[in-house]
Amino acid sequence: MCKDISESRARFEKLLRETKRENIDYVIEDLDSWGFFEAPASSQGHGAYPGGLLEHSLNVYDSAMAARKAMLDLRPDLESDLDPDSIAIATLLHDVCKTDFYRLVKKKRRNEVGQYEEFEQYEIHDENFPVGHGEKSVILLLQSGLDLKDEEIYAIRWHMGPWNLSRDDEKFYRQAGKASPLQPLVHAADTLASAIVERPGKKL
């Protein structure tokens, strides 16, 4: 389950405000009105609970900053290309597309004795804004008044990596990675956060 949402939210907002990006307070207001802070991160996978999206976003930020430190030990010449403010913007806001995306529904299943019981589960509802995943985040942030840098757009748009892409998408994904190291860093951090940091612990 998510840690204290109010504590995580305070840290999230502090990190965004520290970028001193113009209109960031309006972005935070919009995130609140969209339900970002209470949203799950997935329907049944990582962070599938209220506040899961907030927790996941912070995990991606922490993973990206750890990866940045490791990469700069190997490539100190990339320090200006891996700006901490851009990392904060790209990681904390990469999944705003998931607001108003999952709905809690009631379903029935058989329990261990064969009787039907009711349970709740999130379902995807993407009919309100039917555009792709990463591009939806970019569009929402631009509509909210955030002036994104090109490398931040690349990182947010392609944070899912090169999976299930058309030929043109694959070409653009690779071009974005060549244009800025922020894009592969955010993709790697998103993978590290969802597949390792948020991996369920072994049951004892």
- The domain ranges of the chain are 5-197
pLDDT band (50, 70, 90) for residue 160: confident
According to DSSP, residue 162 is labeled S
Residue 142: what pLDDT?
Answer: 97
Q: What is the mean pLDDT of residues 79-99?
A: 95
- Distance in angstroms (rounded) separating the CA atoms of residues 173 and 54: 26
Mean pLDDT score of the chain: 87
The crossing angle, in degrees rounded to 10, of helices 182-192 and 150-157 is 30
